[in-house]
Amino acid sequence: MQSNPAECLYCTNNETLHSLMIQIAELRVSRLFLFKEQTYRGRCLVAYNGHVNDLNELSDEQRNLFMADVVQATRAMQRAFNPEKINYGAYSDKLSHLHFHLAPKYVDGPDYGGTFQMNPGMVYLTDAEYQELIDAVKANL
């Protein structure tokens, strides 16, 4: 599936994007976001800056830079939240723009030992609580 950059929420930086996530930082070749739905405490997303549909479309150099951004984000999340594991999701079935979901998993937490849900719609925070999570990630980037 190819998508139109003019209709892509990551490229247009539109209201749909802002209703789903909050930007934390600009990285080497991507942006790091906090996912507003926080069933998985500390869940983030890394979106590539350019409109590409899949990881295999990047040059080796750009792929390495993007994956370095993903690793930088997960290291910051690990230090900030100390999850047992961080799950990676790069599906793009319906939104064809390279991005990775980063879902921290905790023993005794939701879906531990299984696949994280894309948007369970159960846990939303106050602005102050979102800011606390954002500050924790930023302090560890």
CATH of the domain at 100: 3.30.428.10
Q: Which amino acid is at 84?
A: E
**What is the domain extent for residue 38?**
5-138
- Average pLDDT on 25-49 reads 98
Number of domains in the chain: 1
Per-residue pLDDT tens for 57-87? 999 999 999 999 999 999 999 999 999 999 9
What ranges make up the beta strands (E) of the chain? 21-26, 30-35, 44-48, 85-89, 99-105
Per-residue pLDDT tens for 126-139? 999 999 999 999 99
The reported pLDDT for the residue numbered 58 is 97
The reported pLDDT for the residue numbered 17 is 96
The reported pLDDT for the residue numbered 95 is 77
Tell me what percent of the residues of the chain surpass a pLDDT of 70.
99
**pTM given for the model:** 0.95
The reported pLDDT for the residue numbered 3 is 75
Q: With CA atoms as reference, report the closest residue to 102 among 32, 50, 9.
A: 32
How does DSSP classify residue 119? -
